[in-house]
Amino acid sequence: MSPHVEVRKTYKLYIGGKFPRSESGRSYAVHAAPSRAGRPGSFLANAAAGSRKDARDAVVAARGAFPTWAGATAYNRGQVLYRVAEVMQGRAAQFADEVAAAEGLTPARARATVEAAIDRWVWYAGWSDKLAQILGGLNPVAGPYFDISAPEPTGVVAVLAPQRSSLLGLVSVVAPVVVSGNTAVVVASQDRPLPAVTLTECLATSDVPGGVVNVITGRTAEIAPWLASHRDVNAIDLAGAAGADGVVWGDLEGAAAENLKRVLRPAGNGAEAVEPDWTATPDLSRMTAFLETKTVWHPKGR
Answer yes or no: is pLDDT of 284 > 90.
yes
**Please, what are the domains in the chain?**
11-31+42-299 (3.40.605.10)
Angle 151-82-119 from CA coordinates, rounded to 5°: 95
Furthest-apart CA pair in the chain: how many Å? 89
CA distance 275 to 169: 9
Alpha helix locations (H) across the chain? 52-71, 74-90, 92-103, 107-125, 131-135, 168-178, 194-204, 220-229, 249-257, 285-288
Asked if residues 184 and 157 have their Cβ atoms less than 8 Å apart, the reply is: yes
HEC profile of 225-265: HHHHHCCCCCEEECHHHCCCCCCCHHHHHHHHHCCCCEEEC
Evaluated on CA atoms 154, 74, 159, 215, the torsion sign reads: negative
Kindly report, residue by residue over 214-228, the tens digit of the pLDDT: 999 999 999 999 999
Altogether, the residues listed in the chain come to a count of 302
Answer yes or no: are the C-beta atoms of 159 and 175 closer than 8 Å.
Answer: no
Cα dihedral across residues 158, 194, 34, 106: positive or negative: positive
Average pLDDT of the chain? Answer: 93
pLDDT of residue 273: 79
pLDDT digits (tens, 9 = 90+) for 88-121: 999 999 999 999 999 999 999 999 999 999 999 9
| CA 142 distance to own-chain centroid | 43
Q: What pLDDT score was predicted for residue 280?
A: 94
